[in-house]
Amino acid sequence: MTSEFRKPGGHLISPDGNWYWDGIEQQWKPASTPPVAAPTAVNRRAAGQPKSEPSNSLSSFVGSVRSDDLVFGQTVLVWARWILIGTGLLLSFWSPTDLLTLQIQLAAIIALAFGNFYLHVQLLRGHPAIDNVVYAASIGDLCVVTALVIVQTGYPSPVFIFYFAAVVGISVAFPTVLTAAYTAIVIGVYGIICFTTAPSDEFPAVFTRLLMIAAIAVCGNLFARNESHRRQDAIRIHHELQDEAAASPQLSPVNPA
């Protein structure tokens, strides 16, 4: 079950058609409040779809609906990428060593900046990028960092730390399976690079780096899953209170716990 991205209305619509994504305010808003480009034929069809379970409206934002988590996690990914770009630019101009390395660094960083600008503009306009674009962009991040590591002779390269920023974004935005896959790719590729370029007495440091990349992924994804469960519980409690209130209209307001 995923959210739908409908053109030309352009806004991300929740699976039940009751909410749309306002990228400016970074909030879900009810579809009954017309968004700027919402009243289109496709959105009317979406809103007019028969709803077998009205109570599912809020539940559609938790549990298996990972696209919605991706929308929220996408802002973290975009900011992580801006940090990578800004830091990369700063450090490229700080005592550059040779021309070829600088050329490759700048080309990669500028390409990344263009891609990230596109994704950020999409978010600001309330049009989160489709899932596959986000997944591909994250692969692009990892490729850029890997290219920089290789250009700077592998293990001695200090830019490997940017893997951490990329993995943080991935771990909070992507489902567990994809997070595990991306992390495994990072650990595998970077591990091979390090074990072929590092002297054997540096292997403990290589091990530490790889373990910490995995730890970052576990922490981020664990937190994201915990939060999903908490939201699910909160919505369930809310529905139960609604049912109670509907059953006894004279009931006094529910006090905060």
Partner 1 sequence: MQNVREVRTAAQANLEDVFFGQTVILWARWSVIVAGIVLVLWTSTTITHLTETVPFFLALMAMNFFLHGRYVMGSPLNRATVMVASFVDLVLITAIVALWPGSHGLDNQFFVLYFPVVLAFALVFTRRIEAAYTVIAMLAYVGACAFTGTVHPDLGNDDKVLVMRLIVIAAMGFLGNYYFRIQRDRLARASKGTSSGVEGLVAGLRPATAPARRR
Distance CA 246, CA 250 (A): 9
Name the residue nearer to partner 1 (CB basis): 118 or 207: 207
Site for partner 1 in 90-149 (CB under 8 A): 90-91, 94-95
Q: Among the candidate windows 88-96, 105-113, 131-139, 180-188, which touches partner 1 by CB under 8 A? A: 88-96
Q: Among the candidate windows 68-76, 99-107, 134-142, 176-184, which touches partner 1 by CB under 8 A? A: 68-76
Helices (H), the chain: 41-47, 56-59, 66-92, 99-124, 131-151, 162-173, 176-197, 203-247
Task: For CA atoms 199, 204, 206, 207, give the dihedral sign.
Answer: positive
Query: Would you count residue 89 as binding partner 1 (CB under 8 A)?
Result: no
| 76, 134 Cβ separation under 8 angstroms | no
Name the residue nearer to partner 1 (CB basis): 125 or 152: 152
Three-state SS at 22: strand
Query: Would you count residue 151 as binding partner 1 (CB under 8 A)?
Result: no
Site for partner 1 in 4-63 (CB under 8 A): 16-19, 22, 25-33, 39, 44, 47-49, 51, 54-58, 61-62
Query: Would you count residue 75 as binding partner 1 (CB under 8 A)?
Result: yes
Peptide bond into 8 cis (omega under 30): yes
Minimum CB–partner distance for residue 192 and partner 1 (Å): 18
- The end-to-end CA distance of the chain, in Å, is 33
Name the residue nearer to partner 1 (CB basis): 77 or 129: 77
Query: Would you count residue 186 as binding partner 1 (CB under 8 A)?
Result: no
DSSP annotation of 217 reads H
